[in-house]
A and B are shown apart, each in its own frame.
Chain A
Amino acid sequence: MMRVFVEGIGLLGPGLENWSAGREILAGRADYLPQPTQMRVCDMLPAAERRRAGVPIKLALAVGLEALQQAGRETGTAATVFTSSGGDNDNVHAINTILATAPREVSPTRFHNSVHNAAAGYWCIAAGSREPSTSLCAHDASFAAGLLESAVQVAVDRAVVALIAYDHPYPQPLHAVRPITAAFGLALLLTPERSETSLAMLELDWQPGPVTETMMQEPALEALRLGVPVARGLPVLAALAGSAATQVDLAYLTDSHLRVRVSPC
């Protein structure tokens, strides 16, 4: 069992403007009104980089910055774990289209933005962070994988870790084979010790065998949870929005799961 503390939360999704508004919705104190994700302007990036950045980079930076600001920590001080099922899906589509026709002129920016760790690269530049950073993918379990790896880093390295999870839709024709319904990002700033700003304690266990996943009660939020790979993390945020200790079970693909006990501080 690993124990970590949550000091900051970032959220951006359809009808989920940020954590302070989203918390009210996830706690059931405000209605959930689904609407297209309103990307917020993130002034972390210099203008030139901001022009080159696609949706996933903007999502990742927005939620990461929100979590660190809430914790009152400098952006350069946290190690980072980025996780996403897809990376920059608009860019993947564009590159495949360019490569299918002559001339095959993939621009340098398109190419370097195509790496799965593009968001991590932009974050480290914008945050001025030389701390370790990793970029993970586990298909529909990408959130659980990111949370597991983040908790392990906090527990073993005693590091302060920002977990930044994001996904956004593919254009057609890839959308038909991998439907992702919305642009969605969330971030958790995790620390090894309880502090005055700690919001909650998480106790995590990776366990073999399938599990009945914790679902969202509100049908539209449950549709979001299932519609976006990393939105599988929504039940953890819902538990963080509440005031009672809660157990959340996250499927880790088909044959294992991550059990998370959330205890508000």
Chain B
Amino acid sequence: MRSRRSGLSACQFEDVDLETYIAKVPALDAYAIRPDLAAHDCRNNRLAQLGLEQDGFAEVVAAAKRSYGAHRIGVFLGTSTSGILQTELAYRRLDPQTGQLPPDFQYAETQNSYSLAGFVARYLGLTGPSFVVSSACSSSAKVFANAARMMEAGVCDAVVVGGVDSLCLSTLYGFNSLGLVSRLPCRPYDAERDGISVGEGAGFALIERARPDARGMLLLGVGESSDAYHMSTPHPEGLGAQLAMHRALTSAGLVADDIDYINLHGTATRSNDTSEGKAIAEVFGSRVPCSSTKGWTGHLLGAAGITEAIISMLTIEHGFIPGSLNTQQLDPALAIDYRIEGSSARVERVLSNSFGFGGSNCSLVLGKTA
């Protein structure tokens, strides 16, 4: 982000014939799933495994497992499309006589939404409660709320949260049919913005109760709401978004001025950025630096919430507000402190927004220990 290097490139994925930019993880094509989990082999679970292998995450979970026990650690993960690419490709290989799916097709381990949580729980050897939250693009933000509640209820001592979504034809052609895909790399909050760039990604976090002597990042608050407006268009004044942000602040015991940076949902569609920008102006005025980081990552859909929660924690750790890639001319209708250039700053508390189809909204407040 400091070097303003984007993960977006011109779309080359399967035989997709759309003129657009995507964020693709090239390593997946020749990547092997762990042999004992071969039945789960699909692009989404490959991406999940690749994510689990980063940054020593699996080792940290193994240590938590030793201290709490495998059954005391929950697994709550977000995805919008799970392993649906596997089904899309299998439908091209139906038996010409019977119309049946090919014998190598594994429904439960790939297509079913739960596939992701089942795979990750097995990979990590965890036996606590597990499920997938699939509320489109808010999925992997909402799992933080599930985790906090399950620990407060005493069902879990720790939780692996996160999200994984991988490229598939359903998403690319689906967003295209709605006129929501840009032909250019997405330009969040730009006056000329014209749609998203679809991406794929995986992110995970281990959540534990904060001990008095703990050092690290804190989940300070979560706010969830529904738009009750339209299936694929956000409320024009961002009423649902405002409610989610107010609830997150209340849950954190904070007020708007306590927030040092907002990582916006900022998909770069006309309607999202207008709706969210108005909601930010209403709740925060123009006092808080904001940006969308989707110019770097594309829209990671069910993995957007966790990715941007991690980016939010990195802004705190590094004292760096990331700015916005590809944004040239800010939308003058949105009266917020939107940052195009990155800058060094003391960042203590960050709010991160994730909004999804069906009017599903979630805001997280993240901070650090004293």
B-binding residues in A (CB < 8 A):
2, 76, 85-87, 92, 95-97, 99-100, 104-108, 110-118, 120-122, 124-125, 127-139, 141-142, 145, 148-149, 152-153, 155-157, 172-174, 176-178, 206, 208, 252-253, 255-256
Contact = CB atoms under 8 A, between A and B. Distances in A.
Given A100-B92, A173-B101, A256 B146 contact: no
Contacts of A176: 100-101
B113 A87 contact: yes
Contact of A134 (B92, B127, B135): B135
A63 B170 CA distance: 29
A138 B117 contact: yes
Contacts of B358: 112, 115, 117-118, 120-122, 124, 135
- What are the nearest 8 A-B pairs in CB distance? A121-B358, A111-B174, A116-B134, A132-B224, A208-B71, A137-B113, A124-B226, A100-B91
Given A137-B114, A139-B112, 15 more contacts: A108-B177, A112-B232, A113-B231, A115-B357, A118-B357, A125-B230, A130-B227, A130-B240, A134-B146, A135-B135, A136-B133, A136-B134, A152-B149, A178-B112, A253-B130
A117 B135 contact: yes
A153 B127 contact: no
A152 B88 CA distance: 36
21 contacts: A87-B113, A92-B84, A96-B87, A99-B173, A110-B174, A111-B175, A116-B134, A125-B230, A131-B226, A133-B135, A135-B358, A136-B132, A137-B132, A138-B132, A139-B118, A152-B155, A156-B153, A173-B94, A178-B108, A208-B127, A256-B129
A253 B360 CA distance: 27
Contacts of A116: 80, 113, 134-136
A138 B79 CA distance: 12
Given A96-B87, A100-B91, A121 B357 contact: yes
Given A96-B91, A156-B149, A130 B113 contact: no
Interface residues of B, number: 61
Interface in B64-95: 71, 80, 84, 87-88, 91-92, 94
B280 interface: no
A138 B118 CA distance: 8
Given A152-B150, A256-B127, A112 B231 contact: yes
Interface in B350-370: 356-360
A137 B116 CA distance: 10
A131 B226 CA distance: 6
Nearest to A128: B228
A145 B169 CA distance: 29
Contacts of A129: 226, 228
A15 B129 CA distance: 33
B239 interface: yes
Nearest to B357: A115
Nearest to A146: B131
B187 interface: no
Nearest to A157: B149
B19 interface: no
Nearest to A84: B113
Nearest to A2: B153
Nearest to B360: A117
A149 B225 CA distance: 17
Interface centre among B100, B134, B173, B358 (most CB of A within 10 A): B358
B27 interface: no
Contacts of B149: 152-153, 156-157
Most B-side CB within 10 Å, residue of A97, A113, A116, A177: A116
Interface in B91-143: 91-92, 94, 99-101, 105, 107-108, 112-114, 117-118, 127-136, 142
Interface in B167-203: 169-170, 173-175, 177-178
Nearest to B135: A117
A86 B229 CA distance: 24
A78 to B, nearest CB: 11
Contacts of B142: 134
Given A122-B231, A125-B231, A155-B153, A133 B226 contact: yes
Most central of B101, B105, B133, B231 by chain A CB within 10 Å: B231
B243 interface: yes
Contacts of A172: 99-100
Given A121-B359, A148-B155, A206 B107 contact: no
Contacts of A114: 170, 174
B100 A112 contact: no
Nearest to A111: B174
A132 B130 CA distance: 20
A152 to B, nearest CB: 5
B152 interface: yes
B225 A132 contact: yes
Given A116-B80, A157-B149, A86 B112 contact: yes
A141 to B, nearest CB: 8
B356 A108 contact: no
Interface string B225-269: 111111110000001100100000000000000000000000000
B27 to A, nearest CB: 25
A24 B93 CA distance: 47
Nearest to A172: B99
Nearest to A137: B113
Contacts of B108: 139, 178
